[in-house]
Every structure is written in C-alpha cells, then in structure tokens.
Amino acid sequence: MAILTVATQAFEGQRPGTSGLRKKVTVFQQPHYLENFVQSLFDVLPDAAGLTLVLGGDGRYHNRAAVGTILRMAAAKGYARVIVGCRGILSTPAASALIRHHAASGGIILSASHNPGGPDGDFGIKYNLGNGGPAPERITDAVYARSRDIDRYCISDQPSPPVDQPGRFQLEQMTVEVCDPVAVYADLMRQLFDFDAIRALFRSGFRLRFDAMNAVGGPYARALLEGELGAPAGTVVNGEPLEDFGGLHPDPNPVNAEDLIAHLFADDAPDMGAASDGDADRNMVLGRAFVVSPSDSLAVLAAHARLVPGYRQGLSGIARSMPTSGAADRVARALGIPCYETPTGWKYFGNLLDAGRVTLCGEESYGTGSVHVREKDGLWAVLFWLNLVAASGKTVETLVRELWREHGRCVYSRHDYEAIPSARAEQLMRELRAALPGLPGTTRCGLAITLADDFAYTDPVDGSVSTGQGLRVVLADGSRVVFRLSGTGTEGATLRVYLERHEADPARHDVPVQQALAPLIALAEDLARIRHHTGMDHASVCT
C-alpha cells in the first residue's frame, strides 16, 4: 500500500465551462486525462488533512470507473473521509445537500447534465464548494492554468473499495463512506413541503406523469412520489438510471421529452406532467395540454411561495440569469422584493443565496432552485408545483394564466443552433459585438433599438466582475434579443438566441409563441447574419 507519483503530460483544452469540464467519453478514457484534471483541481485546493469530500455522479457511462480513480486520488491527496453515493450515483442537488449536511469541504460531481450518454456520448466533471455550489471562476481558472503545465499526479496503488452497497471502508488513511443517495435529500424535502397536502391530492384522484428519462432522478422520484406521497405505481416512468439513458436525450424540454408531451396532450391526459434531466437538476412542468415555460415557472413559484411551509416567511429576493424572461422581475416588484439579474451559470447565484439576498432563483434552461441547496433542483420544483396545486385547489394552467392576467405574458423562446464549427460561431459573435456601439438609436426591421451591449455583472456581495456574458439588444418597447455561445456542449459551438417581448393584452396571450416573436426572429437574423455564418436555415431546437 503506497502513494504513487505518476509522470504525465498536459492535455490541451481542459478549461471548465459554465458547468465544469465536459468532453466526449472517449476523451476522458484517454490514459491520464481524468487524472490530470483531478490532480489539477487538487493542486489548487488547500491541504485536505481532516477534511471530507463528497463524490458521485449521474450514473452515465464511465461514471463508475471515474469514481474508482477519484477515490484513489483523494486518498493520495490526504482527505480524511469521502462520502460517495451507492453505486457511485448522486443527483446534483442531492450532492449539494450532502455537502451542506455533512459540512464537507466540497464535492466532485460527475455529470454532463442534459447531454447524451453512452460510450459515444458525453461525460463531465465539476467541483462544488463547501456551500454546496459550483466553484467560481477564480477556482476554475486556476484549475485550467494548472492543467496546462501539470507533469505528474498522485494516486494510491490500492484497489478502489466496492460501492454497490452502503458501508464503510478504508483506503490508505482515508475512510470511504458509501451512503444511501436518497436519504438526506428526502429528509430535506420533508422539511420544505406539506407532504400531507400532497398525499391528499393524490388520494383525491389527481394524476401525475413524471418522466425521469432513464436518468438519476428516477430513484429519488420513486422514493418520494410513489413511496412516500402515495402516487400510484407507474407515476414515475423511465425511472431506472441507465448508462446511456436508454438512448434518450435526457434534456427535459418539449423537443426531447416528446413522449411526455404526447401523454399530456392526449384525450385521457393526466392532470400534470413533469420531467427531470440526466443529473436531476433541471425540470419541465406541464399541465393538461399546457406547457409551462421555465421563466413562467419561476415567476409562479415566487408569486405563491407563501402557500408552501418552507417559504411561508416570504422571500428575501429572486435571482434570474440574464437571458431568462422578466416575468420574475414583475412578480418581485409586486412583492416589494429585489430581483437580481446574473450571468448564466448557477455559480452566480451562490453569493446571493449565502448572503440571504435571495430565496428563489432560476434560469430559462429549465433550472429552478432555492436557498435549500446551491444547485438547481428538478424534483424540488415538481414538489413545489404539487404543493401549490394542493394548497390552492387550482390547476397548473390556471396558476400560469393568473400570472399572465396580473402581470402580462412575457412571450419567450430560445433558438439553439447546434454543432456550429467553433471558428464560424466566434466570427459571428465578433462581428456582432463590433456592431453593438452603433445600434442604439437606430431602427432595424422596423424596430427601434434603445440599448445594445455585452452584458457584464458586478457581484453585489463580493464585488467580483464577470464580463462577456452575452450580447443584448433591447428595443424601445422593452423587447429583447440576446445572443450567447453555450458552454455545455462537447462538439463545435452552440449559438443560443433568446427572444422576449411583453404582451399585456389578454386577448393575445394565446397567439402561438413563434408567430408572436416573428419580428424579433427577423431582427436576430438581420443583426447576426446567422444563415451566413452557420449555413443553417433554421434553429436545431426551439424551446
């Protein structure tokens, strides 16, 4: 039993994105690739003596092998204890809850979230701090810098202990504690929601269809929805985590969750539908023949939070990512609380949550969360909606339409142009960025532009500044077009175009979204010359 020092050479491109390092499985399977990145992380972290680390992932292909490697490297780093989910599996929100519950120094989460899995799919790794939230740029930048000149890594020569059943094992001087991945998370949910009211809702005949997309959220949903809250067996579908997600694209949106959409729009549709993604941190909520946008979901939860036991004291504030619609802003104004606009990436919410400035937060990419953990949380959002339906006696659709009647509808869509050659995508953004200063005061496609900028954010808690967070074009009527390159893909670049306009007239709330946004779609093409740069006539996905 010894700690080995293994010579290695640096790999290009180990820069973490908004949600850690994501690459193809085949990239991570290269000799030394994972080890280099983990050692780069350990090299920038402080001494681990006496500290606890949480470890787990979404169960996708290569998860188990990576867990074994990281355990042996954590022993070499000198951690006193590693808490790992049984079978190496932890949902991202559950990992955050475990970090906080055990006062761990941090956690390593193995996930590529909503990206496809399997041997030819994607894999990812990220580090979360002791508050349970994703590492900020100062840490991820340091990890990347270290990865560029790393020449060795340290690893125990002992075999990794088994992780298929809960138990305690010794690896060098480190204790490995294999835990039930659901227990701590379930206890946290009991503290937040009125489980008696939700049980009564299911006893009344209320029907839910929850699609776990063969991903990590399945065991959590079955334990809580069917096991504890009394939803009928079969409420949770695709509930067994599979290494390739059963061939599904585990991204809960109307395009990739087409089976769920079909069930909710059928003649015998259940009362509510929901889905979570690969690592169970995202959610989609539907009523009967009614799709709830993520932006509206955040706003509805905020507007009715006092109906839920864990939030009856009211909200200190709301935070949303910049591309997310302004529906939450309007609710915040009505409640007399602040609404913060941050860059995309859950890490930007952490300081606001830690400082008590916000209680709820959300992103347009199907992520919603609160102060209970420092990650977005898919099942939590579904339980919140169930609690609202139970407490209000109103349907999902009624709750959203009441939001629109009171605040107007923020008509919203995101157009994704996927797998663009990176050089072309970057050229599009360079040209558009250079044109921004000349846009205010002009009229394009018949629309008056009042503001055009590259969004920058100054953290109100620690004063840190993040620049280059998305190109915004704002019109005289408040409508917006936003352009960003996504940091979550593994092939080429994904251009995301966000479109939003406010509709106050209730008679126009049911105009089809793409029709209502047609002038903004034309403006986006005019400004960015998307067809010219990408060669694509239309977006890969519209949500």
Active site residues: 113
What is the DSSP annotation of 80-123?
A: SEEEEEEEEE--HHHHHHHHHHTT-SEEEEE--TTS--STTSEE
What is the DSSP annotation of 50-76?
A: T-EEEEEE---TTHHHHHHHHHHHHHH
CB 69 within 8 A of CB 155: yes
Burial of 151 (0-12, 13-18, 19+ CB in 10 A): exposed
| Nearby residues of 532 by Cβ (< 8 Å), 6 or more positions away | none
Going from the C-alpha of 353 to that of each of 105, 128, 465, the distances in angstroms are 18, 15, 18
Beta strands in 356-477 (DSSP E): 360-363, 367-370, 409-420, 443-444, 447-454, 457-458, 465-466, 471-475
The residue written with tokens 């080429």 in the block is 492
Say how many Å lie between the first and final Cα of the chain, rounded.
Answer: 53
- Pairwise CA distance, residues 223 & 218, whole Å: 9
The residue written with tokens 């390739």 in the block is 244
Structure token pair of residue 504: 């106050």
Angle (CA) 541-426-411 rounded to 5° is 35
- Pairwise CA distance, residues 321 & 412, whole Å: 14
- Pairwise CA distance, residues 372 & 266, whole Å: 36
Residue 263, helix vs strand vs coil: helix
Going from the C-alpha of 235 to that of each of 186, 209, 439, the distances in angstroms are 18, 5, 51
Give the count of alpha carbons within 13 A of 57, CB side only. 29
